[in-house]
């Protein structure tokens, strides 16, 4: 057994950044101070492993090789560690819908969904958290999966991505390590669905390539207000191939028509207690109520010359291409318009696989993508128990399926005939010979690499540009508003405060210095720790142009449509005001929700009125804005109710719009509400304010970090 470290090693000694581009070929030093040097890492067959950081590729920038038994065994074992729940993305919500092409691009791709404007393709989309189990809550700080299954007439295309355009690692061989580190700790079984613990940050501190993703993970992107209000990304660079066989590099984007919106951390924590199914309920109710979520689908197109001139490698999944450099061209729209009929049969049994592509879509040599092409099929086999999982209705293509695959557990088809092989000549005996390959219309891998290959050697290395782990992390942080930067600092302080090992905190701080010294200093101050020196790097970071598109606040516009607004009322409230407010909220495309101390009926000036939710069970964290319709007497009574005071306090602290009539003054005063642009009278001013947050208010309710 490897020995535990005998002391906390200094940051500069723990990771050796050397050779083959420095950090591109990392090895953890397990010398005398860090473990038993004789405890060699081996495969399950006892074969010593020379490199556990890089998969075997055909050239530094070439595709991964099937002969890499280290990669295959590691991912194979990882894929089969849990049954039947997904190891990652276990908690999901999904819906049926349709994709409509709004701009045909046959000059770029022959893929069926993009051949003509107005063409519609049915689809099934699943959103998910990554780290938690199926029974975890909806609102932890976590990456969200964003997977779309297009049922095209040429077969299924699965675009399996996240709500973040980059990832933690560059090579799929590290994926089991990443997930082991972020999952609940092996000896104690907690924390569930949380990254604020020792093992995750220990791994992150030792993997500088993760620092860009950490900036995203600690931003408001990982605490979304709604699944309907997230961006989606294909993450990897793919190829588009047209009918003439010409290929172009591309990245895929989903942009929510509902706008991007997140919660605050305090809000997310309280939502988890008030409604663990907050996102699942929000998506279901929006579709059920006819407020169909929509996303514009766009592509970033990159030619070979541009790709070669970038200061980063487009095969590196820890990097993105700023929209200011390559604008996103909108070519379609997805509308989710039908909830699943059965959660298990559809949402749970749906099986996505990045290897499912149609003619016109092809893969790049991204080493993370290459590993995913192997992993997902293997995972679905273990989870669904049969090679025939593609026959389940939610997974079945909506085009003819003809091949010689036979038998297997849970075979649902009844193949006829004697021939179960190809080629065969049994048609001469009066039987159908069966399907044959289609050289003209079938999928064919694009014959040339747009990426230059610098040799044919079999290597475990990464390209030189992969070694820059900090430039884009710096670009992301500095592209945020001051408020968003403050949220990131607070997130890092919270997460690292849960880390018990001081040397781990120290190492992460040293990495943060490479991103931005002011950021690192603020986090260190929040932890009451001295700021360490920056770690040495193999490739010095550069100051890239800032990208406003990376900021939620810089792109947000007031939008009330699709949101939910609470109306708090009590004994003696004005019934006409409530009715008028409900009508105005509906006219703006939002959903009004009546909250009262009792749900069965409360006397208003227009008679008894039933509430949609009881006050203690409907806190303001569940809503985008709140309105208080109270008589002076009713407000006075509510000042003695902690749930009512907290209702208003949280709405104010979370920078939401608060509309109130004059009768509500006592409750506003008790909750410490101070006048600002987001505290309005009821009416048009409130409707205009309700679709936004008032971030200037944070200075009144929260100490700066």
Whether the predicted pLDDT of 453 surpasses 70: no
pLDDT in tens, 125-139: 999 999 999 999 999
Provide the percentage of residues in the chain whose pLDDT is more than 70.
91
Q: Write out pLDDT tens, residues 290-309.
A: 999 999 999 999 998 999 99
Quick one: pLDDT at residue 91? 95
**Residue 192 token pair:** 């569930």
156: which DSSP letter?
E
Per the prediction, the chain carries an average pLDDT of 90
387 vs 596, higher pLDDT: 596
- Dihedral of CA atoms 268, 272, 275, 280 in degrees, nearest 10, equals 80
Strand 144-152, strand 120-129: pairing: antiparallel
- Specify the CATH architecture of the domain 559-701: 3-Layer(aba) Sandwich (3.40)
DSSP letter for 695, please. Answer: G
C-alpha span between 613 and 202 (Å, rounded): 44
Whether 514 has a pLDDT exceeding 80, the answer reads: yes
Residue 169 above 90 pLDDT? yes
- Could you tell me the two tokens for 12? 């500069």
Confidence (pLDDT) at 454 = 54
pLDDT band at 408 (very low <50, low <70, confident <90, very high): confident
- Over 90: is that where the pLDDT of 42 sits? no
Q: Residue range 652-680: average pLDDT?
A: 97
Q: Rounded to whole angstroms, how far apart are CA atoms 540 and 546?
A: 18
Is 162 assigned a catalytic role? yes
Percent of the chain residues past pLDDT 90, beyond the cut? 74
Nearest to 461 by CA among 46, 50, 9: 50
Q: What is the 3-state secondary structure (H, E, C) of 158-197?
A: EEEEECCCCCCCCCHHHHHHHHHHHCCCCCCCCCCCCCCC
Q: What is the pLDDT of residues 329-360, one digit of tens each?
A: 999 999 999 999 999 999 999 999 999 999 99
Ranges 145-149, 550-554, 558-562, 698-702: which has the least confidence: 698-702
- The CATH code for residues 69-391 is 2.40.180.10
- Is the pLDDT at 683 greater than 90? The verdict is yes
Higher pLDDT: 48 or 678? It is: 678
Whole-angstrom distance, CA of residue 663 vs CA of residue 541: 58
The pTM score is 0.89
pLDDT at 35: 47
Backbone angles phi and psi of 34, in degrees to 5: -125, 15
The per-residue pLDDT for range 411-449, each reduced to its tens digit, is 888 888 888 888 887 765 555 667 877 777 788 788 865
- Of 166 and 449, more confident: 166
CA distance 379 to 90: 12
Among residues 25, 34, 89, 96, the one annotated as catalytic is 89
Rounded average pLDDT over 132-151: 96
Could you say which of 54, 156, 162, 514 is catalytic? 162
- How far is residue 687's CA from residue 310's CA, in Å, rounded to a whole number? 46
Q: What is the pLDDT of residues 461-490, one digit of tens each?
A: 999 999 999 999 999 999 999 999 999 999
- Give catalytic status of residue 339 as yes or no: no
Of the listed ranges 12-26, 141-155, 169-183, 468-482, the least confidently predicted one is 12-26
| Coil/strand/helix, residue 335 | strand
Contact 62, 365 (CB under 8 A): yes
Return the pLDDT at 36.
53
Q: Return the domain boundaries, the chain.
A: 69-391, 559-701
Asked whether residue 583 carries a pLDDT value surpassing 80, the answer given is yes
**Which one is predicted more confidently, 367 or 38?**
367
Q: Would you say residue 321 has pLDDT above 80?
A: yes
The arithmetic mean of pLDDT across residues 202-211, rounded, is 97
Which of 4-8, 181-185, 456-460 has the least mean pLDDT?
4-8
Q: What is the mean pLDDT of residues 644-664?
A: 97
pLDDT, position 661: 95
Across residues 562-585, what is the average pLDDT? 97
pLDDT value at 660 more than 60: yes
Which pLDDT score, from 0 to 100, does residue 102 have? 98
The separation between the first and the last C-alpha atoms of the chain, rounded to the nearest angstrom, is: 42
Say yes or no to pLDDT of 310 above 70: yes
What is residue 655's predicted lDDT score, i.e. its pLDDT?
Answer: 97
Task: Please name every residue paired with 324 in a beta bridge, in sequence order, or none if there are none.
Answer: none
For residues 333 and 297, the answer to whether their CB atoms sit within 8 Å is: yes
**What's the pLDDT at 5?**
39
């Amino acid at each position: 057994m490897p020995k535990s470290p005998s002391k906390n090693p200094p940051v500069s000694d723990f990771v050796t950044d050397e050779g083959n581009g420095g950090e591109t070929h990392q090895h953890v030093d397990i010398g005398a101070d860090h473990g038993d040097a004789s405890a060699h890492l081996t495969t399950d067959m006892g074969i010593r492993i020379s490199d556990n950081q890089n998969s075997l590729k055909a050239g530094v920038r070439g595709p991964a090789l099937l002969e890499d038994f280290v990669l295959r065994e590691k991912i194979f074992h990882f894929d089969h560690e849990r049954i039947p729940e997904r190891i990652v993305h276990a908690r999901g919500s999904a819906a049926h819908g349709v994709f409509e092409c709004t701009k045909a691009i046959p000059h770029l791709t022959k893929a069926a969904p993009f051949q003509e404007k107005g063409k519609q393709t049915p689809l099934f989309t699943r959103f998910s958290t990554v780290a938690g189990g199926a029974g975890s809550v909806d609102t932890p700080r976590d990456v969200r999966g964003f997977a779309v299954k297009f049922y095209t007439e040429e077969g299924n295309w699965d675009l399996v991505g996240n709500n973040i355009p980059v990832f933690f690692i560059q090579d799929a061989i590290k994926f089991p390590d990443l997930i082991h580190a972020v999952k609940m700790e092996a000896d104690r079984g907690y924390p569930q669905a949380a990254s604020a613990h020792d093992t995750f940050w220990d791994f992150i501190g030792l993997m500088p390539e993760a620092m860009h993703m950490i900036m995203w993970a600690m931003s408001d992107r990982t605490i979304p207000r709604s699944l309907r209000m997230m961006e989606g990304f294909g993450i990897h660079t793919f190829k588009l191939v047209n009918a003439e066989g010409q290929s172009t590099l591309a990245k895929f984007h989903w942009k929510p028509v509902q706008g991007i919106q997140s919660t605050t951390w305090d809000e997310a924590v309280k939502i988890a207690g008030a409604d663990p199914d907050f996102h699942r309920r929000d998506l279901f109710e929006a579709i059920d109520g006819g407020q169909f979520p929509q996303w514009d689908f766009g592509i970033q197109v990159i030619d070979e010359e541009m790709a070669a001139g970038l200061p980063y490698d487009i095969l590196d999944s820890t990097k993105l291409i700023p929209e200011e450099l390559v604008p996103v061209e909108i070519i379609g729209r997805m509308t989710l318009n039908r909830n699943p009929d059965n959660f298990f049969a559809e949402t749970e049994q749906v099986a996505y696989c990045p290897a499912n592509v149609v003619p016109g879509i092809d893969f790049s040599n991204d080493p993370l993508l290459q590993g995913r092409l192997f992993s997902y099929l293997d995972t679905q086999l273990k989870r669904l128990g049969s090679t025939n999982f593609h026959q389940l209705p939610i997974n079945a293509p909506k085009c003819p399926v003809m091949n010689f695959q036979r038998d297997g557990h849970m075979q649902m088809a009844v193949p006829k005939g004697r021939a179960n092989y190809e080629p065969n000549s049994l048609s001469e005996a009066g039987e159908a010979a069966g399907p044959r390959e289609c050289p003209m219309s079938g999928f064919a891998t694009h014959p040339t690499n747009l990426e230059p290959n610098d040799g044919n050697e079999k290597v475990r290395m990464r390209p030189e540009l992969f070694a820059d782990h900090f430039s884009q992390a710096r670009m992301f942080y500095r592209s945020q508003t001051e408020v968003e930067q403050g949220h990131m600092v607070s997130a890092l302080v919270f997460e690292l405060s849960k880390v018990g090992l001081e040397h781990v905190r120290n190492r992460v701080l040293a990495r943060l210095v490479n991103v931005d010294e002011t950021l690192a200093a603020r986090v260190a101050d929040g932890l009451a720790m001295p700021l360490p020196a920056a770690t040495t790097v193999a490739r010095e970071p550069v100051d890239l142009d800032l990208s406003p598109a990376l900021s939620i606040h810089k792109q947000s516009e007031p939008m009330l449509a699709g949101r939910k607004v609470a109306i708090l009322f009590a004994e003696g409230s004005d019934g006409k005001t409530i009715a008028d407010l409900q009508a105005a909220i509906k006219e703006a495309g939002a959903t009004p929700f009546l909250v009262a101390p009792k749900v069965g009926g409360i006397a208003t000036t227009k008679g008894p009125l039933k509430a949609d939710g009881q006050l203690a069970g409907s806190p303001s964290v569940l809503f985008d804005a709140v309105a208080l319709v109270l008589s002076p007497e009713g407000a006075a009574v509510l000042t003695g109710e902690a749930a009512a005071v907290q209702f208003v306090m949280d709405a104010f602290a979370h920078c939401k719009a608060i509309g109130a009539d004059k009768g509500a003054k006592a409750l506003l005063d008790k909750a410490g509400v101070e006048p600002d642009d987001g505290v309005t009278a009821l009416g048009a001013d409130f409707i205009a304010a309700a679709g936004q947050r008032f971030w200037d208010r944070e200075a009144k309710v929260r100490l700066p970090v």
